[in-house]
Each structure stands twice: as structure tokens, then as C-alpha cells.
Chain A
Amino acid sequence: MSLAGSCVALHLRFLRCCGYCRLAGGDGYPPLLRWLHHAYRYFALALMTAYLLQQCVYAYQEQTDMDKLARVMFLLLCHVTSITKQIVFHVDAERIDEMITGLDDRLYNEVSEKQAQLLSTTCVRAARLVRVYTGTAFITCTLWIVFPILEYANGRPVDFPFWAGIDYNHSSIRFLLVLLYSYYATSLEGIANTTMDAFIATILYQCQTQLKILRMNIEILPDRARAIVKKESNQKYEAVLWKLFIECLTHYKKITSTSKILQDIFGTVILIQFAIGGWTLCMAAYKLVSLNVLSIEFASITLFIMCIFIELLLFCYYGNEVKVESDRLVESLYAMQWLGTPLRFQRSLLVFMERAKQPLRPVAGRIIPLSLETFLTIIKSSYTFYAVLRQTK
């Protein structure tokens, strides 16, 4: 895999193990393995849908009990966002593959030494992000199975937040089965959900890095042209200048198209995530204040809140970074030594500057921009919901 493409390598490995993302097209997998993996993916989707339905039934049954309803609702909402993303990965698998192979493009990977360092830093940071984030989710899920085990061990009745259809309180085997089912479903969902979020954020991060590289190339464009002419004396300065300029233009077009594909595929999902994320935050906070500070449940709910927080922040932060970086493109175009270049080149530079004035703004669902202002708005709204909920208590 190329340097730019390897930033999502770890994410794809996790997703393929969980059965969310399909196997890569070009690799030499035998057709049987492909078919099996295909079946595994459908199994994962069926499992998640079944679990969601079970939660819905439970929510319907317990609609009068505020506490239990809150407990199941925030898990349910989380699963809704996770399933929407899973469906997108199924339906749009073709385009996702296209986007990933697009990262291996020559334009993204033909870089100088300093820029290669930038790319490898991106990879390292992306890998770290997915490990930390997915690890937190996994720990949270593990903590959640501790309470049922403790309660069962103490002889108290256990109440799983989904409709199981069987009575598990009086039989150890049934209890174990239901427990394992719950553990498998929630951890699969937790790991896959966080990895998918990290995947989207990493593509945005890669766009930002590519923009940085583009800006570095632009700022020294005439100097690079001069160096090439000095090395290969048969080339003319103006021709080299022109070639490098067109390369920068094509690079910019490629970055724009990657960002656009990402937006097209995941735009609606991110919008749903924002809407539900705010609501989930306030429900979890509502549950949190009624718990004892030193209990394990408090710790697990806090971890859960942190996961949601980070989920929202990831998109907003990286979207913001892409916008900021593309805003600086005009400055970089201005900062190059354009004074002294041929007039024809300066006029083309003007057209490029005119295009670069439109910043690359990733939006969710065509309306809501991914930026830090959006993040603050969501936090404020969820606090308002929470305050209102407290009043109705």
C-alpha cells in the first residue's frame, strides 16, 4: 500500500474482521474465501438488526419506567447510528473501495523527503487514534458486562436492556448464553462504530495533510522550476513552470474530489450522528447524576459520554482543519515569488486564486458544516435538553 493509503490500513483491517467492510478487490483471495466473508458480512448486519429490534421491543415494554427507558434509549440511539453506517458500508461498498484506491494515486504519493515525513506522521497518528478510541469502546463494553455478572452472583434479578424472549434469571446456562450474546453484540458494535468514525476522520486528516503538501509545493514553485532548469539545461524555464503549475492544479482537483466523495457517501450518516449525538449526551448525563460517584457504573457511563464526545469532536475537528488549511491556499499562492514570472503565468495564477478562494468545507447532509462552531452548538443544545429534562423530574 502506498504511503497515503496506509493511513487507513489499520481501520480497514478492523472493519474487515468485524465483517463491516468487504475484502479488497485486487488482493489474491480465493473465491471461496470471498464468498465466506460476504456471508459473514450479511450475518453481522442481520445480528445488529436483530439486536436493535430486541432493544426496541424492550423500550416499548418499559415505556413508563423513566429510569429503564433512559438506560435502553441511549444504547438504542447509539446502535441506530452504528447500523446506518453499516448499511452505508454495504450499499456503497463500491464507492468506498474507489475512494480508498484513490489514496494510492501518484499525485498523493510523489513527495519530497520532508513531505514523506508529514505523510508518515499522519499514518502514525491515525493508527494511534483508532487504537485509543476503539480500545476505550472495548473497555466500556467489558465494564458493562461486569454488573450483570455481579448481580447474578449476588442472587439479584438481572435485567438486560433488550428483549430476550427467555427467562434467564433462573438458569445459569441461559443466563450465560444471553450474557455472551449481549457481550458479542455490544462489543462488535462498539469496535466497529468507533473504527468507522476514525476511518472517516482519517480520510479528512489525509485531505488536510495533502493540502499542506500542496501548499508547500506551491510556495516554492518558481524556485523548483529554476532548480530543474539548472539541472537539465535542455528544458526551458517557462515550460517547466507551466508543467509544475498544472501539476499543482491537478493535485488540488484530486483533493477536492476525495473530499467530495467522502461527503457524498457519509454526509447523511454524519448528520444523523450529530442529531442523535446531542440527544444521547443529554440522556447519558441524566443517568449519570443519579449514580454514586465511586461506582463502576459511574465510570462506565463517564467513559461512554467521553466516547460520544470524542465521536462528535473527531468529525468537527478534522472538518475544521480541512477548512482552515484550504483557506490558507490563497496565502500560499500569494507567498510564492510570482513577481518576475511571465505575465501569462501570473494571469493563470489569478484564476487559480479565484478558485482557491472557495474553501473546502466538508458538510454533513449538505447543510451542517463540520466545524468547531457546530461542535459548540451541539454541546450547548444537549445541555439545554438536559436542563429541561431535569426540570421535568
Chain B
Amino acid sequence: MMTKVKAQGLVTDLMPNIKLMQAAGHFLFNYHSDNSGMSMLLRKVYSSVHAVLIVVNYVCMAINMAQYSDEVNELTANTITVLFFAHSVIKLLFFALNSKSFYRTLAIWNQSNSHPLFTESDARYHQLALTKMRRLLYCICGVTVLSVASWVTLTFFGESVRFIANKETNETMTEPAPRLPLKAWYPFNTMSGTMYIAAFALQIYWLLFSMAIANLLDVMFCSWLIFACEQLQHLKAIMKPLMELSASLDTYRPNTAELFRASSTEKSEKVPDPVDLDIRGIYSTQQDFGITLRGAGGKLQTFGQPTPNNPNGLTQKQEMLARSAIKYWVERHKHVVRLVASIGDTYGTALLFHMLISTITLTLLAYQATKIDGVNVYAFSTLGYLTYTLGQVFHFCIFGNRLIEESSSVMEAAYSCQWYDGSEEAKTFVQIVCQQCQKAMSISGAKFFTVSLDLFASVLGAVVTYFMVLIQLK
């Protein structure tokens, strides 16, 4: 059975990300063009195999950590690695358990309203959002591949040993360990030979896929935020023409025809059917094709009878366009609010776990950083972990912060347009919108904290404080 799934809205925009997530082994089974039973089964098997491999190797690493827990330095290093990859396991499980919620968020933008006068602006900001999302995806993919490459390269430098505490003399001795990217317990001997190569290959695969799993989910979250921000930009941009349209309804304004001329030459010249006066009907993607409004040389063209109490001589169609513009704005804003609420509900708990684990990891890394004594493998690996962990936190903090800024600046946009010229209806509309926008839209980590640059600053501050204190204690 070959049913074509029509990708629309957010799903179309995020399709490369979705495809990559499916390739990395996330339990993402929607949005395929081929939904036959056989391919579904194959995909489920593929994801399960990845999941099993990732969890099994993770457990091997944990066993290794438990085995060599006597010596403090060894234990700290192993704990950091285990916590570092806990993100991947948690995100894999989180997505598998919460996939309905993700699908719901992805489907929220499937039906969006449109207005003939604002389609050009809508398309422009949508394109901007798309570019930014793609750029982010490429950037993060590049960083992931680079990290894996540098990790594997670093494995070949330095001594491949592990620290053991000698129980009698209480000294630390070194014991040769296999030269692998990750320290893990395997049931077979990995010191040399074919088993060594097999383990090495497994670990390269594991590094790449587990980092990809964690990062791609974060990229999806940030892409949603980018999309919401660009929609808010669009709403801010059309506030001014909206007010002028509204003003044209009852105050004389010169060059009213300019308002009704939409810059794009394509579909925006269509007028919705004036019979359909129930304003809910405008909330649709179809447009009834009527007479074009563009006059020659900017002169006001009148079609049908001009309404008697309109100082600008607008026709009934134009008047309806003007009135429906506010409706479009409000409905679009409500849609964005719903999208942001859904994003917060979907991803909030994952962010909470991420922050919990990152806090513990960064504390341990601050301790490790005090032991750096020169430019060697240890220094590079510690700094690498530190930059990567801080980078992950920064990644979602910056987009969360942008959302907060954008949503609170809508009020400024509302104020800076010429609202005093608008109708009574428009002025009340501005007031109600300002009330809503005073509370900025933000993403919260399961109600414990708000995702913003303040969070990043506090995390960074805490790490630096621990580091300074520990240096003093040495």
C-alpha cells in the first residue's frame, strides 16, 4: 500500500532534520512516503538494533566505571564520560516515550491562515526561518563530525593506560589499557588483534551515532524556536500596514490605493468572497478569485458601489479586507502562542534532565580542570569536554532567549505604529495585544527554570566559581 504522505507546515521545513534523525536510529516512524507493513517493520528493526547497541555499549562503559572505582582520578574521568553520554541514552528514550507529543507539535502548523495583503511578508519571513534552520543543522552536523574526528585522533596520542590504586602502598600505578576512544569493559580481549579492530570500529560508530542522537533532537527544538521567532517578526512587520488599513476605514488618508496593492504579483491580488462575511471564513488557505485591485498609476479604482460613510471611498471588498486584517493578525498570534506552549510541553522535561546532568558534569570537569599541568592529551580532552558541554547548554539558551526577546518586543511594535489614527476597534485591539505580550513567551524546563541566557550565565558562573575555589584549595 503506497500512500503518499503529504508533508506540510513544519514537517516540510524540518524534513532534512527528520530524515537524519530516522537515519541515526530515533524511533521516528512517521513522515515516510512508503507506509507498507514490510518497510515499517524494517524501520522498527533498524531503530531497535541501534537502541540495543547504544544501550549495551553504555552499560559496558558503566561496568568499566564500577570496576575501576578505587582510584579517584580514574573514577572521575570515567564518571564524566558516562554522564556525557547519558544525554544520548536519555534523549533516545525520551523521544521513544514522547513521540506522540513531538508529532503533535510538528503538526501544529499544518493549517495556517493567510491574508491576501500579507502573503508576501509571510513568505519572506518563512524563507528566512528556513535558511536559518538549515544553517543551524549544517553547523551542528559539522560540529558533531568534527568532535568525533578529533576524539578518534586524540586516542592515538599519549599513553594508553589506566590508573590503579595500589592497596598496600596507597600509591597510584599505571596499567596498560587498550588504545580505544572509550574505556569500556568487553567480554573479549581487546588489547590487540582482530578484536581490537572490531572494538575500535564499534566505538567509532557508537560515538558518531550517540552524539548525533542527542544533537539532532536539540537542533529540532531550536529549529522550532527559530520558526516561532520568525513568525513573531512577521507579525511585527505587518503591524504598521495593519494600522494604516484600519485608519483608512474612518479617517481620510491620501494614497489609500497603495495600501491595497500587495507587492507580489502572484496570488496576493485575489480578494476573498464578500458574501462570506462570517469572519471565521477568512481563516483559510483558499482564496476566492475576484477582481484585482491594482489600479493603473496608483489611482484608486472603484469596483461596485463605494460605501457611503467611508472618507476614502473604499469599496465593500476593500473595507472587508481592512477589517479582516486585524482578524488575521490576532489569529496568527494565537497560533504562535499555541505553538510555543506545545514546544514547552513537549521538550521541557528533556531540558530538565539535560540541565541536571550537565550541572553534575560541569562540577566534575571544574575539578578535573584544576589538574591540568601542561599542553597534553589530558588538557585537550578536559577542555574538549568542557567546551562541548557548555556549548550544548548555550545552544538552547540562546534560542530560548531570542524567543523571550521577540515576544516582548511585539508590544513595542504595537506602540510604535500609528495606533492613534486607527479605529476604536483597532485601538482596543492594540490594548488587548499589549496585555498579552507583557508576559514574554518563554520555554520552561518542566516549570523548574526558564531557558534563557540568564541560565547559561548562572551555569558558567558556577563553573568558574568552583574552579577558582578548587584552585585555591590545592
A residues near B, CB below 8 A?
Answer: 320, 324, 327, 330-331, 333-335, 338-340, 343, 346-347, 349-350, 353-354, 357, 372-373, 376
Contact = CB atoms under 8 A, between A and B. Distances in A.
Contacts of B448: 372-373, 376
B439 A327 contact: yes
B337 A335 contact: yes
Interface of B: 279, 326-327, 330, 334, 337, 341, 424-425, 428-429, 431-432, 435-436, 438-439, 447-448
A330 B435 contact: yes
Contacts, number: 46
Contacts of B435: 330, 333-334, 350, 353-354, 357
A320 B445 CA distance: 13
A301 B425 CA distance: 65
Nearest to A337: B280
B357 to A, nearest CB: 16
B334 A350 contact: no
A346 B334 contact: no
Contacts of A320: 447
A346 B432 contact: yes
Nearest to A372: B448
B429 A330 contact: no
B171 to A, nearest CB: 27
A384 to B, nearest CB: 14
Given A339-B279, A372-B447, A350 B337 contact: no
Contact of A347 (B326, B327, B428): B428
B444 to A, nearest CB: 9
* Cβ-closest 4 pairs across A and B: A334-B436, A353-B435, A346-B428, A372-B448
Given A350-B431, A350-B432, 4 more contacts: A331-B337, A339-B330, A357-B435, A357-B438
Nearest to A375: B448
Contacts of B326: 339
A316 B337 CA distance: 27
Give the interface SS of chain B, mostly helix, strand, loop or mixed: helix
B432 A353 contact: yes
B55 to A, nearest CB: 28
Contact of A330 (B330, B425, B439): B439
B432 A349 contact: yes
Contacts of A338: 432
Nearest to B438: A357
A324 B429 CA distance: 26
A339 B327 contact: yes
Give the interface SS of chain A, mostly helix, strand, loop or mixed: helix
Contacts of B334: 334-335
A328 to B, nearest CB: 9
28 contacts: A320-B447, A324-B447, A330-B439, A331-B341, A331-B436, A333-B435, A334-B334, A334-B337, A334-B432, A334-B435, A335-B334, A335-B337, A338-B432, A339-B279, A339-B326, A340-B279, A343-B425, A346-B432, A350-B428, A350-B432, A353-B432, A353-B436, A354-B435, A357-B435, A357-B438, A357-B439, A372-B447, A376-B448
Contacts of B429: 339
A39 B330 CA distance: 63
B6 to A, nearest CB: 28
A320 to B, nearest CB: 6
Contacts of A340: 279
Contacts of B330: 339
Which of A327, A339, A347 has the largest number of chain B CB atoms within 10 A? A339
A357 B428 CA distance: 18
A343 B431 CA distance: 12
A128 to B, nearest CB: 22
B17 to A, nearest CB: 29
Nearest to A352: B435
A335 B341 CA distance: 13
A373 B432 CA distance: 31
B337 A343 contact: no
Contacts of B439: 327, 330, 357
Which of A324, A353, A373 has the largest number of chain B CB atoms within 10 A? A353
Nearest to B448: A372
A330 B436 contact: yes
B425 to A, nearest CB: 7
A354 B436 CA distance: 10
Contacts of A335: 334, 337
Contacts of A334: 334, 337, 432, 435-436
A353 to B, nearest CB: 4
Nearest to A327: B439
Nearest to B431: A350
